[in-house]
Amino acid sequence: MIIVMEAQATPAHIQQVSSKLEEKGFQVHLSQGVERTIIGAIGQKTTTTMELFETLPGVEKVVPIAQPFKMASREFKPDSSLIEVGGQMIGNGQVQIIAGPCAVEGRSKFLEVAHAVKESGATMLRGGAFKPRTSPYAFQGLEHEGLEILAEARQITGLPVVTEIMDPRLVNEVADYVDILQVGARNMQNFFLLRELGKIQRPILLKRGPSATIEEWIMAAEYIISSGNEQVIMCERGIRSFENYTRNTLDLSAVPLIKQLTHLPIIVDPSHGTGKWKLVEPMALAAIGAGADGVMVEVHQNPSEALSDGPQSLTPENFARLVTRVNKMVMALRATEN
């Protein structure tokens, strides 16, 4: 349940409610809104319990949370979450463009792409140091060396860096090198990993699993938030369907749904969502039109020689065109709001 405090509620009123909730065995989470303080109470509620808290000074109303996800819900936090990453803000109306190769293949090659995407207008860098591959014989990433290259690219370009985390034992190590830790689609329901990510104060990019429902995806975010880390960014990257002309089916209806159901920002990955580079730009534009807070695309200087995901990677030239068109889309949408 959530307890909505009156606008004039004092800190003493808020503390009294919080203490009483803890006495009753509830986990207490404060959400300071622009006009109201909302106290989230996670635990077993009863009608008698709700009536008790309605009588406390400073309480405006007590509302049960209908959704199975509590702390990620709009009911718990009506205001949209804003997540700051290296001077960039996600969730405030700015559109972030995250770009880079699927995998960090080497220092010189990655730095070349990093410079190219920054020059074209990317706001963040992506690159995999640890690669979950279907085949154990495929390129698995440069691992620690890859993390060092990512950190160097950040220092040189000034762009925040995103990379995937797969192993709960490596959370702190990876967090030392990058700005955002990405949970890949295969690990969306790796609950031990999600709990560990809840213990650090670093933004988490949570990709939707290939067969996950919207609710299952949000519940995965709930694991991270309920463990102590509220900095979760959702990422739609396509789901598995009967269609075989594309790698996945990019579900853009997830964008407005996530914004309606939760307070979390959401970006879209049209590279994995389609698997074909010619579809990346139109789906990126569609994602922005649907209200996404950004897009994440794969860029490689020579896609035909990429060690992973070459067919869905843009060349630097095609990426530059995508950025130009995305910026025009953003300007057009803003013009309609005025």
Model confidence pLDDT, tens digit, residues 22-45: 988 888 888 777 777 888 888 776
Q: How far apart are the first and last CA of the chain?
A: 37
User: What pLDDT is attached to residue 279?
Assistant: 98
Determine if the pTM surpasses 0.85: yes
- Long-range contact set of residues 277-282: C-beta below 8 Å, sequence gap at least 24: 277/303, 277/311, 277/312, 277/313, 277/314, 277/318, 279/246, 280/312, 280/314, 280/322, 281/314, 281/318, 281/321, 281/322, 281/325
Provide the pLDDT confidence category of residue 293 given band limits of 50, 70 and 90. very high
Q: How many helices (H) and strands (E) does the chain have?
A: 11, 14
Average pLDDT over the chain, rounded to whole? 94
Domains of the chain (ranges plus CATH)? 2-63 (3.30.70.1140), 83-337 (3.20.20.70)
Q: What is the pLDDT of residues 144-186, one digit of tens each?
A: 999 999 999 999 999 999 999 999 999 999 999 999 999 999 9
Task: With H, G, I as helix, E, B as strand and everything else as coil, classify residue 229.
Answer: coil
Tokens 């794969």 correspond to 298
Q: Kindly give, in sequence order, each residue whose CB lies less than 8 Å from that of residue 169, ignoring residues fewer than 6 positions away.
A: none
314/297 Cα distance (integer angstroms): 8
Quick one: tokens of 278?
Answer: 């010619």
Q: CA torsion, points 54, 58, 60, 66, in degrees to nearest 10?
A: -60
